[in-house]
Chains A and B, each alone.
Chain A
């Protein structure tokens, strides 16, 4: 890629594909939610496969693949291999793709029972007993966290790829973002249970800004000390059962949250 040529005159724009696995569509909607940038983006990259946005599709391989959703069916176990094979840079977007999503709660339960709760004829429904992140199946080049992802982070990643540089995405906890925007700590000032100290930043510390504790939708930071946080939640008076629930939401399958919630769940009430 040269710096001189404006994107629209490049003869070969990078191709972009957007893939969906088990998910709510919210993360790929984030692409369409870039209202100010969408038409410019569509000039800088060639949207080659994005069924939610267009009937047109070009066959692969694709330079950049954004993958939303988790793997929950035998067919999808095979499909993700094919996506990997025809993708240059594979970027997973969102909590489902990076940690299995809310549907990974099934990993902690009996899926046969879930299926029979929802469906009268469970035999029509093909599903695996676990919901797993994309990285459990194929090599992933970059992960964007969040339920949903933050569209500024998405644009940063796409810009970085177009400029052939490293994306500026940090793994700081939410606490740093609260300090940066001047939000008074809800845990210290009000005793509100908050997962901010162990949760990745990126959202802009939205929950504390509305006087709510962070609920961990960006998943654990790489250095999350969940044991220390759980002890603090106990001191704030949060019952153990509620702490387990707190850790078991949209990133229930992320290792730091999963392991800590299982240790807690095993303890006597």
Chain B
């Protein structure tokens, strides 16, 4: 929806962004050939998770915060577990960490396949959605559905359910899958790896719009492997800090046009989390098959064009499939499904890599384990300023386009970040105004 106010002004306005998770819009105002206002509007009704967590038992946040997002509930469960375990002085054994990684691989595969095929690819191929796209590209859409299904099957195998898994608890799991269960599933994941490699080839052939953005990239980096379930922060400007220091590096601010708090990286002009950031900071940690796929797709070590995020996301599906297979192949069992996490007073931080970027939780507990304070910083609230900055730069170079086409391309630019509006607890509509 666009309208033209007086004179040479233009406004692009989208009330309801399609193919994003949750409710948001866009507003862009252009005056005298200059983009003067860009707002990613998040009007998703707030649900006050940080408020309703107060007074709950320390064992409850993994299940409660999962409900922030139906697309990435495992991310919430994992960051919540890490934060509370840290507050209680518990570090889970390595085999529990590896089984968490396997579960998280399932979520990455399912969530990335959803975004690449159903939410973003229709922009590149010129369809309103995946169902319409399937009329001309049936095999491609079926490939995407197969990948998504494999991810969901892995979530069900380890987590007990694809959406809001039931098997996660502090300290580990209620019941671990057996080695036989894992081996029986292995061929599905091996098939998914083939589909993932085909996905990289397919999206690498898409026509990618030009845009270069200078965002400082922020991501986790782990002792080994590509970052999912653990790690500490690094950035392309040389920052390196532990999750405990997150508050001093990233501050959240409220803006009037959004129910999502905007995050700012202290001392940076702008920053971004997510696939491009993870890839830039952990390219050397990809498994050989994923790195080869990235090289074959022509990705540079640091990719500054947000529209190429779809290629990086596809590479990350390869990584998740391969990494999941490695967990299965190395699995010899664990002495217990979970280690005890007795309550104690304290504050803990948990940071993991949700499909959309780093997700940070902080909890403070009293001596009985009651949550007295909870802070959740989802990736989309960190990326909101970067999305607005991208739109500003993008629109400025495309003012000659008619409103409909410009609006469509703006939506595509927003989807580069796979914004999860339900997630941005505190989170968006697109409006472009030209006056």
The chain A residues found within 8 Å of chain B, CB to CB, are: 20-30, 32-33, 35-36, 38-39, 42, 47, 50-57, 72-73, 76, 101-103, 105-106, 109, 111, 113-115, 117-121, 124-125, 127, 131, 147-148, 203, 206-207, 209-212, 215, 217, 242, 245, 249-250
Contacts of A53 in B (CB 8 A): 18-19, 118, 129-131
User: Do A24 and B52 touch across chains, with their CB atoms under 8 A apart?
Assistant: no
User: Do B163 and A54 touch across chains, with their CB atoms under 8 A apart?
Assistant: no
The tally of CB-CB contacts under 8 A between chains A and B is: 186
* B185 is an interface residue with CB less than 8 A from chain A: no
Contacts of B22 in A (CB 8 A): 20, 25
**In-complex Cβ contact of B18 among A27, A55, A147 (8 A):** A55
User: Do B63 and A54 touch across chains, with their CB atoms under 8 A apart?
Assistant: no
User: Do B174 and A55 touch across chains, with their CB atoms under 8 A apart?
Assistant: no
* B161 is an interface residue with CB less than 8 A from chain A: yes
User: Do B48 and A39 touch across chains, with their CB atoms under 8 A apart?
Assistant: no
Known contacts A26-B73, A102-B47, A207-B160; 10 further A-B pairs (Cβ under 8 A)? A25-B69, A29-B163, A51-B19, A76-B45, A101-B67, A102-B67, A113-B51, A114-B51, A118-B426, A121-B256
Contacts of B173 in A (CB 8 A): 210
In the complex, what residue of chain A is closest to B68 when comparing beta carbons? Answer: A24
In the complex, what residue of chain B is closest to A29 when comparing beta carbons? Answer: B70
Q: Mask for B115-136, Cβ within 8 A of A = 1, else 0? A: 0001000100000111110100
Contacts of A212 in B (CB 8 A): 166-167, 169, 174-175
The chain B residues found within 8 Å of chain A, CB to CB, are: 16-23, 44-52, 54, 56-57, 60, 63-64, 67-71, 73, 114, 118, 122, 128-132, 134, 138, 141-142, 145-146, 148-149, 152, 160-164, 166-167, 169, 173-175, 253-254, 256, 259, 261, 408, 411, 422, 425-426
| In the complex with contacts A32-B118, A36-B149, A26-B70 CB distance below 8 A | yes
User: Do B164 and A148 touch across chains, with their CB atoms under 8 A apart?
Assistant: yes
**Chain B interface mostly:** loop
A79, B63: Cα distance in complex, Å: 30
**In-complex Cβ contact of B131 among A25, A47, A121 (8 A):** A47
**In-complex Cβ contact of B19 among A29, A39, A54, A114 (8 A):** A54
A266, B68: Cα distance in complex, Å: 29
